Amino acid sequence: MGLCLSAQASAFGLEDVIARAETLAAEPYQAPDPIPGFMQNLGYDEFRSIRFDPAQQLWSPSRTRFQVMLVPAGRTYRHPVRINIVDAEGVHLLPFRKELFSFGDEALRKKVPADLGYAGFKLTYPINKAGVQDQFLVFAGASYFRGVGAGDHFGLSKRGLALDTGLLSGEEFPIFREFWLIRPHPQASSMKVYGLLDSKRVTGAYEFTIHPGQPTRVEINSTLFTRERIELLGIAPLTSMFFYGENTARPLGNWRPEVHDSDGLLIHDGSGEWSWRPLINPTRLQTFSFSTRNVRGFGLFQRDGSFASYQDPEADYERRPDAWVRTREDWGDGRIVLVQIPTSDETNDNIVAFWSPPNTVAGGKRFDFRYEIDLGRLVSLDHPLARVQHTFVGLGDILGGGDVENAYRLIADFQGGPLEGLAADAPVTADVTAMLGGRVLEQYVEYVEQNGHWRLSILAMPAEGKPLELRAYLKRDATPLSETWTYTLPTENDIKGNGK
């Protein structure tokens, strides 16, 4: 089904936004005008009381399958963005209309300026039930956007770009300062959105082609223009939350077994290797780089989809979506960067993952990136190997762990792929490597009949004063059977009790 209603609408495209981004990059950076101070200082409940009227969604009179709810500026959304509609009448700015919102506080309603502006928008679509408009994709705040597949609960976020994330010099947050929404045909199953990104050191033009479903797929074409040198350029960044899980100690006083939006980072390198890194909540900022050549994909996943692992019917952590970034061209040499930031609760997004070129990026350069992101619990991967299902970590000198002081017992459970159908006594072994001077004291593989998993058990000791860094995969003879499991346990950690 066509995306647009007219030749005028289709005449506007990515090249128009690229031209704007290139012109903007040649000019000195100008920060957007902030909203009034009292709107920035609204409390959480005050801002939440400002609600868009769903009956006023854009395009609802025409019963189009795609409709739009608007997000008011306020609280952390401190700068309004321009939102344009591209339709049969051409391109026109969407003016702010105060009457589209209800206010829990009449005094606040009177104070809100008539020209406050929008912080972003929410796309709705009958993604779960015919005739029912459900929110499935939200663009609001800096360059953030969040999406779900059918039946999912909102969780991790995506960003247009990350700059110097995890560096001691501090992070710069680019913003989408203008959007163009291409009005789709009433029965269209996909639509386009364009965004103009801007920050002190870079501008960008983005084309989003959006396909709601399970999973929801967003195809992205982007062109970047650098104004100044960038130390760490983050492409296709993903942001999530990991408070604690099966591989960590439960913080004192917390009753739920696990609390996280994502539990691991998956990488598919151009070499064909699939690697899985379970997430942690460190006591200090941690940044890891995984070298890649022509990376094919990477993503943050919530592999544990069992309610029993979370026991939280309100948060629905078992329904949080995965996000898989699939490259659509050769990105060459680079690295997947994983940033893990300490957090004391579940309200902070403390996990960031992105692709970055191997070196710093100079000013005055143009870059083009094409990729797509799958969002949902049923992301389809061309993954032929067994997958890590669980990671457990304990001390290596207690009952069930071992009898070696200062050692750790690590368990990785694998399932699927070529392990399916193997006899319990099949000769499955493991290749285990310790880095940074660590030692593998013991390792063995066994079939666990109770859950149908193949379990790798490792007793390992870190070098004095260094983290324990391990890498392992299952094999039969010389043939790999599983993705590669990697793990880094910091010197200060909650397993030994010298962390948080």
Domain boundary among 376, 405, 422: 376
Shared domain for 300 and 201, answered yes or no, is yes
Q: What is the three-class DSSP state of 308?
A: helix
User: In angstroms, rounded to a whole number, what is the distance separating the alpha carbons of residues 403 and 385?
Assistant: 34
> Does 150 score more than 90 pLDDT?
yes
Percent of the chain at pLDDT above 90?
Answer: 95
In a domain, 147, yes or no: yes
User: In angstroms, rounded to a whole number, what is the distance separating the alpha carbons of residues 256 and 317?
Assistant: 11
Query: CA of 52: how far to CAs of 49, 207, 265, in Å?
Result: 10, 26, 36
Which one, of 423, 433, 259, 266, lies nearest residue 347 by Cα?
259
User: In angstroms, rounded to a whole number, what is the distance separating the alpha carbons of residues 320 and 474?
Assistant: 29
Which one, of 278, 273, 246, 271, lies nearest residue 259 by Cα?
246
Position with higher pLDDT, 2 vs 363 = 363
Largest CA distance in the chain: 76
In a domain, 494, yes or no: no
Shared domain for 165 and 75, answered yes or no, is yes
**Chain-centre distance of CA 317, in angstroms?**
15
pLDDT of residue 441: 98
Mean pLDDT confidence for 38-56? 95
Strand-pair partners of 354: 337
Token pair 């970047």 is at which residue? 224
Cβ proximity of 143 and 204 under 8 Å: no
Shared domain for 448 and 362, answered yes or no, is no
Q: What is the mean pLDDT of the chain?
A: 95
pLDDT of residue 1: 40
Domain boundary among 376, 406, 431: 376
Percent of the chain at pLDDT above 70?
Answer: 97
Mean pLDDT confidence for 194-198? 98
Report field, pTM of the whole predicted structure over 0.85: yes
pLDDT band at 499 (very low <50, low <70, confident <90, very high): low
User: In angstroms, rounded to a whole number, what is the distance separating the alpha carbons of residues 97 and 120?
Assistant: 14
Domain boundary among 376, 409, 441: 376
Q: How many residues does the chain have?
A: 500
Shared domain for 267 and 406, answered yes or no, is no
Instruction: Residue 368: count other Cβ atoms within 10 Å of its Cβ.
Output: 11
Token pair 């769903």 is at which residue? 54
pLDDT band at 4 (very low <50, low <70, confident <90, very high): very low
What pLDDT digit, counting tens, does each position of 244-295 carry? 999 999 999 999 999 999 999 999 999 999 999 999 999 999 999 999 999 9
DSSP line for 155-220? --EEESEEESTT-TT--B--EEEEEEEEPPPTT-S-EEEEEEEE-SSEEEEEEEEEE-SSSEEEEE
pLDDT of residue 104: 87
Buried b (16+ CB within 10 A) or exposed e, 26-48: eeeeeeeeebeeebbebeeebbe
Shared domain for 338 and 403, answered yes or no, is no
What burial class does residue 370 get, using C-beta atoms within 10 Å of its C-beta: 0-12 exposed, 13-18 middle, 19+ buried?
middle
Token pair 């360059």 is at which residue? 143
Shared domain for 408 and 339, answered yes or no, is no
In a domain, 499, yes or no: no
Q: What is the three-class DSSP state of 201?
A: coil
User: In angstroms, rounded to a whole number, what is the distance separating the alpha carbons of residues 1 and 172?
Assistant: 40
> Does 32 score more than 90 pLDDT?
yes
User: In angstroms, rounded to a whole number, what is the distance separating the alpha carbons of residues 496 and 500?
Assistant: 10
pLDDT of residue 380: 84
> Does 3 score more than 90 pLDDT?
no
| Structural domain containing residue 471 | 387-489
> Does 7 score more than 80 pLDDT?
no
Shared domain for 353 and 404, answered yes or no, is no
Cβ proximity of 13 and 72 under 8 Å: no
Shared domain for 249 and 333, answered yes or no, is yes
| CATH code, 128 | 2.70.98.10
In a domain, 498, yes or no: no
In a domain, 106, yes or no: yes
Shared domain for 35 and 179, answered yes or no, is yes
User: In angstroms, rounded to a whole number, what is the distance separating the alpha carbons of residues 262 and 486?
Assistant: 16
pLDDT of residue 5: 47
pLDDT of residue 378: 82
Instruction: Residue 272: count other Cβ atoms within 10 Å of its Cβ.
Output: 10
Shared domain for 125 and 268, answered yes or no, is yes
Domain count within the chain: 2
Residue 432 one-letter amino acid: V
pLDDT of residue 497: 76
In a domain, 396, yes or no: yes
HSE-CB at 193 with a 13 A cutoff on CA atoms is 24
In a domain, 444, yes or no: yes
In a domain, 243, yes or no: yes
How far is the first Cα of the chain from the last one, in angstroms, to the nearest whole number? Answer: 54
Q: What is the three-class DSSP state of 242?
A: strand
> Does 443 score more than 50 pLDDT?
yes
User: In angstroms, rounded to a whole number, what is the distance separating the alpha carbons of residues 235 and 292?
Assistant: 14
Position with higher pLDDT, 168 vs 457 = 457
Shared domain for 365 and 417, answered yes or no, is no
Query: CA of 496: how far to CAs of 168, 217, 283, 408, in Å?
Result: 27, 42, 13, 9
| CATH code, 427 | 2.60.40.10
Shared domain for 359 and 436, answered yes or no, is no
What dihedral do alpha carbons 69, 70, 72, 78 form, nearest 10°?
120
What pLDDT digit, counting tens, does each position of 291-329 carry? 999 999 999 999 999 999 999 999 999 999 999 999 999
